[in-house]
Amino acid sequence: TSDIITMVNIEKLQEKLGEALGLEMAAQKAVDELGSRGLLDENGMLTQLKKMQSQAGNHQSKLEEMVQNLGNGSAELDSSKVQQVAEETAQKCSTMMQTYLGQDPDSSEAIEFLCIAEGGEVTHYEVLAAISKRLNGKIKNARKLSITVNSILREEKRHLASCIRLAKQTATSK
Q: Report the residue count for the chain.
A: 174
Q: What is the pLDDT of residue 4?
A: 65
The yes-or-no verdict on residue 136 having pLDDT over 90 is no
User: If residue 50 lies in a helix (H) or strand (E), which one and from where to where?
Assistant: helix 45-71
- Give the whole-number percent of the chain exceeding pLDDT 90: 74
Task: Decide: helix, strand or coil at residue 104.
Answer: coil
How far apart (Å, rounded) are the C-alpha atoms in residues 144 and 132?
9
How far apart (Å, rounded) are the C-alpha atoms in residues 118 and 82?
20
CB contact set of 42 (below 8 Å; sequence gap of 6+): 107, 169, 170, 173
CB contact set of 121 (below 8 Å; sequence gap of 6+): 20, 23, 24, 27, 156, 159, 160
**pLDDT confidence band for 73 (50 / 70 / 90):** low
How far apart (Å, rounded) are the C-alpha atoms in residues 171 and 163?
12
Short-list 87, 82, 90, CA closest to 63: 82
How far apart (Å, rounded) are the C-alpha atoms in residues 123 and 3?
27
pTM of the predicted model, to two decimals? 0.91
The yes-or-no verdict on residue 72 having pLDDT over 80 is no
The yes-or-no verdict on residue 74 having pLDDT over 60 is no
CB contact set of 53 (below 8 Å; sequence gap of 6+): 27, 28, 31, 32
Q: What is the pLDDT of residue 11?
A: 87
Torsion of the alpha carbons at 163, 165, 170 and 174, rounded to the nearest 10: 170
